[in-house]
């Protein structure tokens, strides 16, 4: 039977103690016990269904985590206060001082900064590779490599990772594959292709409202339990827990994700094709000429299209600034970082989200200084939006 993430979420029975159709929101940091013995058992992780303290688990976070595990088809999940909280907790749980990570050269800027600068404090080595070059990935593996790290669709270049092959390389070397699936929820379920841990910034498409930051880690029950172990769990001890009020609101938004992803993808494909017709340099995995079009087609759930992210290259940073300012004035969307919002957002990664990446590395990755990344919104009339963009391209002299 086809893996059907939206139905997996829909089929969960989650409701409040009075039959409230939305689960009650946890408004407590701590939980009472009738017997001291049960409290000790909960501490040791031996009491099923008992909550002890909100940094460890609380019912609201459990509902959201269970829904995300259902979406990914993993045994378990845990929710964090940000995407970076998820990424850093997962990686620090897997690596000790002296260990090694093989990571994609193109990742979210914060992830790049963490891997390039921060993990040095703990003597964790990182080799950055072109993740599409599987021979380069294999050659980078060392006896102490614990993790291969990548994004399903990399930020900002939208290269697609060959998750089944990367999982094989990792497992042959006794390492684990960690995949950031922030750009492609529902479209790709990395665990179905052998990824050991899937991480998310829920801030983006999953929540879709840009009203908070949040993250998630999906994996085996053993891994999730190790993360929140009271003695040595990274998440338990560093404490990046999500607030239960936010869990509750994100859970409600998760239930419309399948409809939103379809519209994001439909709109992004439409804009990509139209911009290409105008002669613009367009980068969108849904276009046949995109380098990873065939690979994404192999991995994706066709119900949700090729995603809501696209980029165009207008050659110079100066051009990009002119065009973005004009598009904001014309109401195409907002000049803002982040993505997955109901309105269109655009930014130049080199001047924003990837500015952590040194300029020569940006060029090495193939990131042009004139790159504009779009997170295409849920616009009802995307033809009208396209006409606005066309007008801006004319006004800024980029097309005749
Ligand atoms: C935004 C983002 C992150 C970081 O998430 P926060 O919620 O901002 O901490 C990580 N990975 C990707 C791909 C992102 O787009």
pLDDT band at 355 (very low <50, low <70, confident <90, very high): confident
Given a cut of 90, is residue 168 above it in pLDDT? Answer: yes
Please tell me the distance from the alpha carbon of residue 92 to that of residue 104, in angstroms, as a whole number: 17
Task: Please indicate whether residue 83, judged by its CB atom, sits closer than 6 Å to ligand 1.
Answer: yes
Ligand 1 geometric centre to CA of 241 (Å): 16
pLDDT confidence tier of residue 217, bands split at 50, 70 and 90: very high
The pLDDT of 105-126, averaged and rounded, is 95
Chain centroid, CA 295 distance in Å:
19
Residue 361: per-residue pLDDT: 79
| The residue count for the chain | 400
Q: Give the model's confidence band at 39: pLDDT under 50 very low, under 70 low, under 90 confident, else very high.
A: confident
Task: Decide: 203 in ligand 1 pocket, CB within 6 A.
Answer: yes
In 3D space, the residue among 142, 375, 339, 119 whose CA is nearest the CA of residue 265 turns out to be: 375
Please tell me the distance between residue 250's alpha carbon and the centre of ligand 1 in angstroms.
Answer: 16
Which domains, from first to last, does the chain contain? 5-254 (3.40.640.10), 258-395 (3.90.1150.10)
Tell whether ligand 1 has an atom less than 6 A from the beta carbon of residue 353.
Answer: no
Best mutation site among 114, 201, 357, 375 for ligand 1, i.e. most ligand atoms within 8 A of its Cβ?
201
DSSP 40-58: HHHHTT-STT---BTTT--
> Is the pLDDT assigned to residue 250 strictly greater than 90?
yes
CA dist., res. 371 & res. 343, Å (int): 20
Q: What is the pLDDT of residues 59-100, one digit of tens each?
A: 999 999 999 999 999 999 999 999 999 999 999 999 999 999
pLDDT of 389 = 98
Query: What does the pLDDT look like over 187-210, one tens digit per residue?
Result: 999 999 999 999 999 999 999 999
CA dist., res. 161 & res. 101, Å (int): 16
- Please give the pLDDT value at position 352: 78
Nearest to 198 by CA among 166, 169, 230, 172: 166
Q: Which residues contact 244 (CB under 8 A, 6 or more apart)?
A: 25, 26, 27, 54, 58, 59, 60, 61
- Cα of 110 vs centre of ligand 1, distance in Å, is 7
Report the distance separating Cα 45 and Cα 225, nearest Å: 9
Say if ligand 1 is within 6 A of residue 346 CB: no
Reported as a single tens digit per residue, the pLDDT across 356-386 is 778 887 777 778 899 999 999 999 999 999 9
Average pLDDT over residues 216-241: 96
Could you give the percent of the chain with pLDDT greater than 90? 88
* Residue 151 Cβ < 6 Å to ligand 1: yes
pLDDT of 50 higher than 90 = no
Q: How far is the CA of 371 from the centre of ligand 1 (A)?
A: 19
Q: What is the mean pLDDT of the chain?
A: 95
pLDDT at position 56, please?
92
Residue nearest (by alpha carbon) to ligand 1 atom 9: 83
pLDDT at residue number 285? 98
Report residue 267 as tokens.
Answer: 């709109």
Q: How many Å lie between the centroid of ligand 1 and the Cα of residue 229?
A: 25
Mean pLDDT, residues 156-180: 96
């Amino acid at each position: 039977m086809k893996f059907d993430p939206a139905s997996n979420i829909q089929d969960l029975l989650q409701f409040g103690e009075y039959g409230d159709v939305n689960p009650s929101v946890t408004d407590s940091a701590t939980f009472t016990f009738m017997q001291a013995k049960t409290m000790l058992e909960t501490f040791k992780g031996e009491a099923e269904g008992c909550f002890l303290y909100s940094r460890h688990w609380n019912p609201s976070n459990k509902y959201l985590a269970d829904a995300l595990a259902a979406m990914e088809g993993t045994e378990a999940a845990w929710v964090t206060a940000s995407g970076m909280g998820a990424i850093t907790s997962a990686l620090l749980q897997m690596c000790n001082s002296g260990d090694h990570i093989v990571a994609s050269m193109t990742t979210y800027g914060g992830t790049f900064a963490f891997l390039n600068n921060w993990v040095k404090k703990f003597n964790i080595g990182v080799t950055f590779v072109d993740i599409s070059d599987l021979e380069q990935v294999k050659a980078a593996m060392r006896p102490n490599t614990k993790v291969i790290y990548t994004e399903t669709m990399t930020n900002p270049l939208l290269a697609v990772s060959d998750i089944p092959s990367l999982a094989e390389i990792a497992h042959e070397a006794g390492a684990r594959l960690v995949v950031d699936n922030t750009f492609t929820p529902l479209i790709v379920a990395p665990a179905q292709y052998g990824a050991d841990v899937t991480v998310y910034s829920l801030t983006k498409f999953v929540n879709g409202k840009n009203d908070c930051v949040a993250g998630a880690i999906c994996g085996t029950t053993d891994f999730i339990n190790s993360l929140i172990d009271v003695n040595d769990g990274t998440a338990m001890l560093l404490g990046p827990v999500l607030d239960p009020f936010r869990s509750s609101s994100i859970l409600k938004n998760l239930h419309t994700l399948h409809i939103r992803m379809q519209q994001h993808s439909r709109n992004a494909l439409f804009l990509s094709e139209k911009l290409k017709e105008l002669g613009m340099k367009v980068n969108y995995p849904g276009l046949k000429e995109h380098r990873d079009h065939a690979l994404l087609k192999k991995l994706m759930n066709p119900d949700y299209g090729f995603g809501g992210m696209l980029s165009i290259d207008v050659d110079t940073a100066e051009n990009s600034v002119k065009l973005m300012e004009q598009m904001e004035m014309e109401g195409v969307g907002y000049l803002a970082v982040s993505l997955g919002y109901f309105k269109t957002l655009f930014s130049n990664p080199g001047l924003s989200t990837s500015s952590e990446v040194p300029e020569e590395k940006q060029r090495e990755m193939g990131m042009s200084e004139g790159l504009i990344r779009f997170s295409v919104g849920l616009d009802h009339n995307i033809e009208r939006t396209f006409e606005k963009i066309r007008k801006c391209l004319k006004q800024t002299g980029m097309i005749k």
